[in-house]
Amino acid sequence: MRASRFVVPVVVLLVAACGARATGGQVKPPDNALVGVTMPTTTSPRWISDGENIKRDLESRGHRVDLQYAQNDVPNQVKQIESQIAAGAKLLIVASVDGSALTKPLQMAADAGIPVIAYDRLLRGSPNVDYYATFENFRVGIYQAESLLTGLGLRNADGSPGSVKEPVNVELFAGSSDDNNSVFFFNGAMSVLKPYIDDGRLVVRSGQVDFQSVTTQRWDGETARKRLEEILAASYRGKKINGVLSPYDGISLGILTALRNNGYGPAFPVVTGQDAELPSVKSIIAGEQYSTIYKDTRELATATASMAEAVLKDRTPPQLNNLNDYNNGVKVVPAFLLNPVSVDKSNYHKVLVESGYYTDDQLR
């Protein structure tokens, strides 16, 4: 009993370690390599298309793909990665639920000689992360904050000062505290908003302005709805809220529900977002959510698939364009960053429809 439990993993690790790597000093391009892809959840449309796009891209390059969704459950994601290693994956692409919780399976991957690409969310606290593919996350936060200010009339779209001079009330939301991106988004946003808060042009009546007090565990819209309703009850009796910094469309919809439940609408405070998810784009067209940030996840998937191809051939991915900013606590992970685009009612058609991301029919 003991012996067989011991033998199986060793065999599996040896098989995995031999895979696509050098044989007798010669590097063999892996044909039909198994790539393990793990995504955080299917509750958000973006991760569904991320997973499908990566799978399609890799399969068109002749690889096999095991695509798993962890449903926001860390032990589930650990198990999925472990079974991909056991199945002989030659490379892992991981979009984590909790970026710091995968050090053990990442060590198993390293022991088996399996390279790892962190997808969109940085894997933290481990030396066993080879590359990172994502967007300019700090810039996402800047765009969210600029769009909030524009919507509030404190800033014009060209960056010049807006016509509103009196103080406006806003509340701040950040993403999940276990997602490295949340810090980047929030810091980017605060780099724009802090001067306005400091000189009183923006008033945060709840007083909740530091990252830890504004995070939203697992990016959950319902959690955000509850937090905003508590804030409205405690700090907005007889006062109006004018805007909400929201880091993600699913959170924005929760925020809009809280506002609706508190008598707001049809005109709503300015609410930002991220991901250009279909319900939010429809909400923007209907004049409810103010803006979102579009990240072309098709491009991220394609770039990641070609990075994967290079890594499988033991080459350094040529795409890398940021070798400094993504320190995971153990090492700086070489990264490829794509550009986000700020979207509101004025440009959604050009950005989202003319690029083929959505059709007019989908937005009706």
Is 51 a binding residue for ligand BGC by CB under 6 A? The answer is no
- Distance in Å, CB of 188 to ligand BGC, minimum: 12
Q: To the nearest 10°, report the CA torsion of 314, 318, 321, 324.
A: 30
Residue closer to ligand BGC by CB (options 36, 141) is: 141
CA 265 to CA 84: how far, in whole Å? 48
Residue closer to ligand BGC by CB (options 196, 294) is: 294
Query: Binding residue for ligand BGC (CB under 6 A) from 53, 77, 80, 181?
Result: 181
Which of 248, 169, 174, 251 lies closest to 210, judged by CA? 174
Residue with tokens 């007019």: 360
- Distance in Å, CB of 135 to ligand BGC, minimum: 7
| Longest Cα–Cα distance in the chain | 76
Which of 334, 295, 342 lies closest to 317, judged by CA? 334
- Distance in Å, CB of 340 to ligand BGC, minimum: 9
Token pair in block for residue 108:
């198993």
Is 120 a binding residue for ligand BGC by CB under 6 A? The answer is yes
Is 98 a binding residue for ligand BGC by CB under 6 A? The answer is no
**Which residues between 294 and 323 bind ligand BGC (CB under 6 A)?**
295
Where do runs of H (alpha helix) occur along 273-345? 278-285, 297-312
Amino acid at residue number 238: G
Which residues neighbour 89 within 8 Å (Cβ) at sequence distance 6 or greater?
Answer: 16, 34, 35, 36, 66, 114
Amino acid at residue number 105: P
**Which residues between 215 and 234 bind ligand BGC (CB under 6 A)?**
219
Is 121 a binding residue for ligand BGC by CB under 6 A? The answer is yes
Rg of the chain taking only CA atoms, in angstroms: 22
Is 63 a binding residue for ligand BGC by CB under 6 A? The answer is no
Q: To the nearest 10°, report the CA torsion of 327, 331, 336, 340.
A: -20
Residues 299, 20 contacting (CB under 8 angstroms): no
Residue closer to ligand BGC by CB (options 96, 169) is: 96
- Distance in Å, CB of 2 to ligand BGC, minimum: 42
Q: Which stretch binds ligand BGC (CB under 6 A): 147-155, 174-182, 191-199, 208-216?
A: 174-182
Which of 95, 89, 142, 126 lies closest to 274, judged by CA? 142
Query: Binding residue for ligand BGC (CB under 6 A) from 38, 44, 126, 242?
Result: 44
Residue closer to ligand BGC by CB (options 272, 274) is: 274
Query: Binding residue for ligand BGC (CB under 6 A) from 98, 146, 275, 309?
Result: 275
Q: How many residues bind ligand BGC (CB under 6 A)?
A: 12
- Distance in Å, CB of 195 to ligand BGC, minimum: 26
User: Can you name the residues that pair with 40 across neighbouring β-strands?
Assistant: none
**What does the binding site for ligand BGC look like in residue numbers (CB under 6 A)?**
44, 46, 120-121, 175, 179, 181, 219, 248, 274-275, 295
